[in-house]
Amino acid sequence: MDPSDDPRPGETVLDAPIQNQAALQFIGRIRTPFATRRECPRQGSLDGPECQIEVEARFEPALQGLEPGVLIEVLYWLDRARRDLLTQSPRSDGNARGTFALRSPVRPNPIGTAVVKLVACDGPVLTVQGLDCLDDTPLLDIKPDRRGYCVQAPPKA
């Protein structure tokens, strides 16, 4: 853990270890220009730097139907984030708020999500804009943006 992640004034820390109770499968890695949390934007921007999502080759068929120009939602595992803060002071001003009231990467289950613009598809590599995670972040999932997605299956009987 990075020393800059030490609790700030007003923050509280969980006093028990985090239990691992779920099994997730990483499906690739995310490549960004952000090496440290300090360099990483607080929220991604659709006009931000181009980043690559490298999907493992065995999952490449799952990318069929994704077309450049659409918005997609990317879910990723914030593997270098603390997992034990219950309250946080995002501006270091001592005014703490509950972790679940924030979009901070520091949370019991450090799942990050970003709606990004799909710029290009080159086999198992997607070029996107709008990410806000560190370089080499594990990829959990890719979904169509829910705001533009229409169910393609017939209605349930």
The confidence score (pLDDT) of residue 52 equals 98
What is the overall mean pLDDT for the chain? 89
120 has pLDDT over 60: yes
- 21 vs 95, higher pLDDT: 95
pLDDT at 154 over 90: no
- Tens of pLDDT, residue by residue over 13-50, are 888 877 777 889 999 999 999 999 889 888 888 989 99
CA distance 135 to 133: 7
pLDDT of residue 106 exceeding 80: yes
Contact status, residue 126 vs residue 66, Cβ threshold 8 Å: yes
Answer yes or no: are the C-beta atoms of 95 and 150 closer than 8 Å.
no
What mean pLDDT is predicted for residues 52-79? 96
The answer for residues whose C-beta is within 8 angstroms of residue 89's C-beta and 6 or more apart is 8, 9, 10, 11, 95, 96, 97
Which residues in 114-147 are b (16+ Cβ under 10 Å) and which e?
bbbbbeebeebebbbbbbbbbbebbbbbbeeeee
The reported pLDDT for the residue numbered 153 is: 63
- Specify the pLDDT at position 60: 96
pLDDT at 138: 98
pLDDT tens digits along 133-143: 999 999 999 99
Residue 37 CB: number of other CB atoms within 10 A?
A: 16
Whether 1 has a pLDDT exceeding 60, the answer reads no
Select from 31, 33, 16, 15 the least CA-distant residue to 138: 31
Q: What is the pTM of this model?
A: 0.83
Q: Is the pLDDT of residue 10 over 70?
A: yes
Model confidence at 95, pLDDT cuts 50, 70, 90, reads confident
Q: Which of 92, 89, 119, 117 is nearest to 102 (CA)?
A: 89
